[in-house]
Copies of this chain bind each other. A is one copy, B any other.
Amino acid sequence: MAACRVALLAVAAGAFLARSAIAGDALKQQVDGWRGAHETQILSTFDQLLRFQSVAADPKGTEAAGAYLRRQLEDRGFHAELLTVPNAPPVVFGSLTTPGAKRTVVFYAHYDGQPVTPSQWATPPFDPVMRSGPLGSGEHIVDWRSATPPYDPEWRLYARSAGDDKISQLAFLAAFDALKALGQKPSVNIKVVWEGEEEAGSTHLKEILRANAGKLSSDLWLIGDGPVHPSRRPLLYFGARGVVGLDATIYGPIKALHDGHYGNWVPNPAAMAADLIAELRAEDGRILIPGVLDDVRPASKAERDAVAALPPVEDGLKQEFQIGRSETDESVTDAIMRPALNIRGIRAGKVGDEAANAIPVDAEVSIDFRLVPNQRPEKVRAQLEAFLRAKGWYIATAVPDKATRLAHSRIIKIDWEDGYPAFRSDMSSPPARAVIAAAAGASDQPVAVTPSLGGSVPLYVFDDVFRTPLVGLPVANHDDNQHAANENIRLQNVWDGIDVYAAMIGELDW
């Protein structure tokens, strides 16, 4: 209860939680002790999990990862099954009843990863490699299997999904093992929902949740995804931005043309793409599409206070990312409270040694919108398309044929991804307070509390289906290169993750 008061005060004041001196502290010591004696075993399990090529492009690799996780749960005494719908990776569901427990908590995470471009990786993305520090820091590769634990907590394990998001499954499994070994019973009934389609937009998640709503009923969802605070403090988040992505192709001449003979007369699709981007997005990142910002719900005072209380990280991030400026003068957390229009990629013609003096046949632009409450993906889509039509674009849904090409001045084909809206949850509900207290007990550092992640987690789905409180529980280091090449997890974050998961399994109560 003392811990609950600390949490309440912290949220109310937007301050950081000092570590509370309750049972959590003793548990953390014991879990750390067990972990110190089992580091090799923990990493071996992680290594196995990371070898599955669970990315959207590899449905078999994704299925295999799901089957592996199901076995891991069964081996620990869970009832486990795969929840499926056609043409989607399975959701791994597990449940374990705790005699006498009055609350039920669902642990959500995802076992699929972002697409990979192996040529950009220092070592293959599905062949985990330990390094003595971050790539490019003068680090070296470590043969951890031959090393004697305890391992250096600054080592990093490099693999796709290491931080986003297989660490959440690993931390859960290791924490469960630790509690069992320590003879500490869970404090709640446990359910597990591990999704395989998060990085592809969680297209089928709602359908699966709805179909299994009874089975999945609970008092709290803990969403294990995202990075901790850039200050390295533990982080709890109560919301996330939504997302909707698209890939647009702009059409030029049917074949590449000598730009001397036809430049200035045949429209250049690369220039059209650039002009369009400049019309969609101001230099400071502001979205210029009419109407898109109209629906944005302003941040509440509690949210603004929580953001204001976060420690400044901007100078450190500029050093880390080697950037001479940020797009605006805001803090990074203020910036991610707004919607964003990100250019993920552009491709047109050829550059460098391959460049020919030619007008390209097309230009491809990949974009994602990050959404905040109360924006809706389908409305953003309609607003963008209306803007394009007003600017004279013909929106094609397939590669245009000759008649279509001749009939329109500006042709754009848009392939929309399925997206989802943002969500923010109540930061002061009883279970929210209990989670904050348990997290505080599991760490030597103050806990950072934020109204929203910048990234997207399909929190709205859980809310839509269950109307149950939820809290985000990230574990990965902020500099884990998630969504990029050379994704990695820092060992100290693995160890911290086990501590916090042990607290959530073993101590949560309200």
Contact = CB atoms under 8 A, between A and B. Distances in A.
A355 B366 contact: yes
A273 B270 contact: no
B345 A485 contact: no
A326 to B, nearest CB: 5
Per assembly, the copies of the chain total 2
Interface stretch (A35-43, A209-217, A403-411, A492-500): A403-411
A351 B365 contact: yes
Given A275-B283, A346-B270, A407-B324, A354 B117 contact: yes
Contact of A454 (B260, B318, B324, B409): B260
Given A256-B483, A358-B483, A346 B344 contact: no
A458 to B, nearest CB: 12
Contacts of A258: 164, 227, 454-455, 482-484
A338 B264 contact: yes
A332 interface: yes
A347 to B, nearest CB: 5
A366 B344 contact: no
Given A344-B259, A406-B324, A275 B278 contact: yes
Interface residues of A, number: 101
A322 B405 contact: yes
B350 A355 contact: no
A380 to B, nearest CB: 15
Contacts of A241: 260
A336 B484 contact: no
A317 to B, nearest CB: 8
Given A262-B332, A266-B327, A318-B406, A481 B256 contact: yes
Contacts of A481: 255-256
13 contacts: A257-B483, A258-B484, A259-B368, A261-B453, A263-B336, A263-B340, A264-B328, A266-B321, A270-B344, A275-B277, A343-B348, A344-B351, A357-B455
